[in-house]
Amino acid sequence: MTMSDNRQAGDMYDVAILGSGLGGAALAAILARQGQRVIMLEKGAHPRFAIGEAMLPQSSMLLWILGERFGVPEIQHLSKSESIREHVSAACGVKRTIGFMYHEEGKRQDLAKSHLLVPPVTPLVSESHLFRAEVDQYMVDAAVRYGTTYRDRIDVTGLEIGEDEVVLRSAEGEEFHARFLVDGTGYKSLLAHTLNLREEPTRLRTQSRSIFTHMTGVRPYDATLRDDEHLHLRSQWHEGTLHHIFDGGWFWVIPFNNQEGAENPLCSVGLTLDMTKYPDRGLPAEEEFREIVGRHPSIAAHFEGATAVRPWVATG
């Protein structure tokens, strides 16, 4: 069979995008907005759970620039907490601070060993905690409005690159044809796999693994402090992303309920471990999480009464 045997008239796209995460969907919106014929193929379906929730000043600024440069206001809306709330989703949190607290086993956290960074307020952008289930869906919808053909539940398993077209094949045997291909499938990159671009074993392999979920009932950290532990700063730990750091790992705490009128009670919680200190012992993720939390009294107070609302994910 040649590359074009299965092609019907009119189904050649300018660009095929694999994956409809924020990266793939934002690109689809930009290209379709410029008049390109775009098809975006997604293995799963939205809305779906994803991490990569805490923005950085650079990411906000780049989203603002992309939206401005290519005339896609939907991308620009992500660059400021207020516009996210107005246009995108009321389920996102704010990130006005970045906190780092250093813990020792068996002891209350010593606030002298902590950092609270407060990025300057700028007129154009601010950082947020993106509730990806709603934000990614919003961007896919925008891409579709600009004319992108979107197909979900399509697991692309094969690709063939010819001189002037690329052919994609799904697990079910469906074919898609395009002049250009963009691989937005994330770290499992189909393109890297197919073109044998991976270094095995890679020198970039980290010695870390993570376990994470979304929880409800995570109190503001400030509310768990004793009277003598308050630093009386203008900013609160709860106003942004908080990191609890200990010998051999760190937790992330990314609340979605840290602004007035918040509608999402959830908090993204994760634990990253140095595998040389914490090799995989085969424990269920939640048991390992609770065990390490329990060794650190101030972290235990922070997660007291918190429960996971979805299955834990374990990497590594």
Ligand X SMILES: Cc1cc2nc3c(=O)[nH]c(=O)nc-3n(C[C@H](O)[C@H](O)[C@H](O)COP(=O)(O)OP(=O)(O)OC[C@H]3O[C@@H](n4cnc5c(N)ncnc54)[C@H](O)[C@@H]3O)c2cc1C
Contact residues toward ligand X (CB under 6 A) are: 18-24, 41-44, 50-54, 59, 155-156, 184-186, 188, 190, 210, 270
Tell me whether residue 94 or residue 190 sits nearer to ligand X (CB atom): 190
- To ligand X, the closest distance from the beta carbon of 100 in angstroms equals 14
Q: Where are the alpha helices (DSSP H) in the chain?
A: 22-33, 57-70, 73-76, 81-83, 132-145, 190-194, 285-294, 297-303
- To ligand X, the closest distance from the beta carbon of 91 in angstroms equals 16
Tell me whether residue 42 or residue 239 sits nearer to ligand X (CB atom): 42
Q: Distance (Å, rounded) from C-alpha 243 to C-alpha 227?
A: 21
Tell me whether residue 83 or residue 111 sits nearer to ligand X (CB atom): 83
Q: Distance (Å, rounded) from C-alpha 181 to C-alpha 118?
A: 40
Dig out the tokens for 287 from the structure: 């048991």
Tell me whether residue 109 or residue 213 sits nearer to ligand X (CB atom): 213
**CA-closest candidate to residue 52, choices 33, 74, 70, 26:** 26
- To ligand X, the closest distance from the beta carbon of 8 in angstroms equals 22
- To ligand X, the closest distance from the beta carbon of 272 in angstroms equals 7
- To ligand X, the closest distance from the beta carbon of 304 in angstroms equals 24
Tell me whether residue 42 or residue 74 sits nearer to ligand X (CB atom): 42
- To ligand X, the closest distance from the beta carbon of 27 in angstroms equals 9
| CB contact at 8 A, 54 and 24 | no
Tell me whether residue 133 or residue 225 sits nearer to ligand X (CB atom): 133
Q: Distance (Å, rounded) from C-alpha 1 to C-alpha 287?
A: 52
Tell me whether residue 206 or residue 223 sits nearer to ligand X (CB atom): 206
Q: Distance (Å, rounded) from C-alpha 104 to C-alpha 245?
A: 9
Neighbours of 286 (CB within 10 A): 15
Q: Distance (Å, rounded) from C-alpha 41 to C-alpha 44?
A: 9
- To ligand X, the closest distance from the beta carbon of 172 in angstroms equals 12
Beta bridge partners of 253: 242, 269
| CB contact at 8 A, 120 and 96 | no
Q: Distance (Å, rounded) from C-alpha 285 to C-alpha 289?
A: 6
- To ligand X, the closest distance from the beta carbon of 21 in angstroms equals 2
Tell me whether residue 182 or residue 293 sits nearer to ligand X (CB atom): 182
The alpha-carbon radius of gyration of the chain (Å, integer) is 22
Q: Is the dihedral of CA 77, 81, 87, 88 positive or negative?
A: positive
